[in-house]
Amino acid sequence: MSPTISTDLIRGHTTTIILNILRQGDSYGYEIYKKILALSGNQYELKEATLYTAFRRLEKEACIESYWGDETQGGRRKYYRITAKGKERYQHSKREWNFAKEILDRLIQGGLEDEEGSKSTGS
């Protein structure tokens, strides 16, 4: 139920995740919230406050645009659309992620092998 991923490991990725979802079509807050939960296999819940904070950040940076949906009379929804700048930003972030992944793997996994069930080296 609650996220298994510590919040610090997510930091800096939320905008990339949001942009990636919007690449696949316009969407609104709650839907994106649900989508992330589902995509992560219920392992990661992006909190609403974080999500809407990210929207505002991304909109200010012209990476996304918003418009109110048609259901004006009820359940108003604010839709977000990714812009050209947003797409560039996504590609850049994705590259950065793949790059960071390699380096972090080296820094985190590198060095000693795990001694856990060390049953090798029989001499």
Q: Which residues contact DNA by CB under 7 A?
A: 3, 7-8, 10-15, 28-31, 46-50, 52-57, 73-79
Q: How far is the CB of 84 from DNA (least distance, A)?
A: 21
Q: Judged by CB under 8 A, which of 1, 11, 118, 121 binds a copy of itself? A: 11
Closer Cβ to DNA, 43 or 91, answer by number: 43
CA atoms within 13 A on the CB side of 48: 4
Q: What are the C-alpha distances in Å from 32 to residues 41, 62, 70?
A: 14, 19, 18
CA distance 41 to 93: 23
Place of tokens 């904070």: 53
CA distance 55 to 29: 8
> Which residues would be at the binding site for a copy of itself (CB under 8 A)?
4-13, 16-17, 20-21, 23-24, 36, 39-41, 43-44, 91, 93-94, 96-97, 99-101, 103-104, 106-112, 114, 116
